[in-house]
Structure 1
């Protein structure tokens, strides 16, 4: 990721943060719409899960300027996701739902540059997490 992409991600996330509860609801609704098979991995009451999602995104987004500092937490999260039943093929679906949510949440502020920056950020972290959880070969697929 370039420094300008990091800035775009951080600035755009700052615009979503005030509507974080709504954004998290939109995200999970979209995720379960496009991948209903993953619904069983989540509790019936998503209140705490939505808070965890937004808190995690906040840490990651704010840590993009110093990626090595957030990688240990990303590794631990990836390994916990294995225990929940997450598979490498779930990562692109989650990424798609995240980008869709950001597009809806940002409205006119969502543009090709912001989309490319978020795509780069998610791609970087999801590849790392897949490699940590399942090995380097899975991350390359």
Structure 2
């Protein structure tokens, strides 16, 4: 079942589960972020991106904190400690950042979209409602 973190028509953010590992409590998602504007579109696809269950739970907790606080950040790190999704709040402005970094350190792609504080509770609710097996 896809975890759809999209909060606007401009930014579509989806995590599709593709594998899980019980020995190291973790799950792999194909991550896709699309930035859609009238005359342009950008897509970032990250295949089989592994997240620990603890990091997924921490991301949910940090999103909850962002709902209550004027400033802060919720970051979803992959198992290598690289931030894949970051949601930053600075008063009435939200910045969602999706980052794809290659495994040998040659380069990275970052998609950054500005939004509104009302989007954070929507994202949190989607994470909370996602059927977790961890």
What TM-score comes out, normalization by structure 2 length?
A: 0.28
- The structure in which a higher percent of residues are strand is 2
Q: Normalized per residue, which structure has more helix?
A: 1
Q: Between the two structures, name the one with larger relative contact order (CA 8 Å, sep ≥ 6).
A: 1
